[in-house]
Structure 1
């Protein structure tokens, strides 16, 4: 992601134009006025392959065990603090180092699939940006907001099309993760 920011606008435009070779026929099939459906499909595709990659690259047993041990540790640490048990606090401080190592392993497990997910997600996202940049009059009807230009800001710097993509992605991702029984930590 950092590399994309450094490489700049020209790089995003070039990647977006390259991906349009694949996405423009799909858009023609759905119709340009239904660009929100393309964003929904992109979110679904991203959710499916991201969930599958996470399912097969993350050690869910390690995650579960680490989280359970953290809960027990936090409970014991809190009890030792409240009772001002210095012996137990010293013992738990030594154990805390081990817990930090386990948390680091858990973090590595979560970051491992990011590179694979980004390889597909970022070009699709760049294509959407490329397409929207060329169709600044594109609109969509949102609940409570009514019809909005997809290029105007929804929240802070996030444009309406990005907001729609993320909301769609969250919903679809939750359904897929539930169906595939992923991450029930």
Structure 2
């Protein structure tokens, strides 16, 4: 069977599951198969299609894969084999280094500034040493724009560098593959296959933790700079540290609003303005620098 025809054949989740089962039970294409070897997992129609399409060819006493190497490669490309090592282990979960854990503890400590005035004032006063020259030279709305650009660049680069996109994609492909195979087994009423897939899903539960650790690692480092910036903005606005000519800004439709006035639901103007600038800057930075921040399917 040509590679293109095999690829098209395996686009069907039900047949991909059938080929996967047959390949597994033939010891990776090394042993011959008979109908009795797979009838508990495959329907007679699936078995017939494997023979009819030339995936299986007649051997001595049974059937064997016509091209086991190509079948194995195609199954790996579809995620049936690439998510497992040769001994059936799950994708190896990436553990955090000591400095990642230290960054996590530091981020939790900074979080306390949202509720503790003393911590917030200490962090904001330290930030103000660096930011005071900027606030003296520029209007407050422009300061927020600059901070949004800096934090956007920092977070975008960190997320791209610290995220293992290949491993993240492997996790997602395995979850999607299990979902497709489960739906295909339900459609053909294959209880044996359903039970086997559910066991695989339980074994793959560790993948959820692995995905969370991969996603949260760059977030921890991003928070180390975004939380102090956010605390400084809150201290500046709500602590009465703005100049008399920096009371607010003019917003389309809303008109002149102060920084503390609710602008979007209960959210005050300064928060809305910061998030809008941050989201816009991140989109521009990603497109300008062609930085990937999420895995692709």
State TM-score, norm by structure 2.
Answer: 0.56
2:291 to 157, 181, 184: 181
Cα offset, 1:58, TM superposition: 1.2
Structure scoring higher RCO (CA < 8 A, sep ≥ 6) equals 1
In structure 1, C-alpha distance between the alignment counterparts of 2:149 and 2:211, rounded to whole Å: 26
Mind listing any 5+ residue stretches in structure 2 that lack a counterpart? Answer: 1-107
2:222 to 113, 117, 125: 117
Aligned length: 181
1:150 to 259, 271, 289: 259
Counterpart contact for 2:114–2:231, Cα < 8 Å: no
Cα offset, 1:25, TM superposition: 0.2
Cα offset, 1:122, TM superposition: 1.4
Q: Secondary structure at the match of 1:154?
A: strand
State TM-score, norm by structure 1.
Answer: 0.87
Q: Which has the higher helix share?
A: 1
Matched, 1:9 2:117: yes
Q: What's 2:89 paired with?
A: none
2:168 to 59, 63, 66: 63
1:64-113: per-residue Cα shift (whole Å, max 9, x none)? Answer: 22222222222222232344321121111111124322221111011112
1:99 to 189, 198, 204: 204
Counterpart contact for 2:162–2:217, Cα < 8 Å: yes
Mind listing any 5+ residue stretches in structure 1 that lack a counterpart? Answer: none
1:39-71: per-residue Cα shift (whole Å, max 9, x none)? Answer: 111111111111111122110111122222222
> Which 4+ residue blocks in structure 1 deviate beyond 6 angstroms?
none
Matched, 1:170 2:286: no
Q: In terms of Rg, which structure is larger?
A: 2
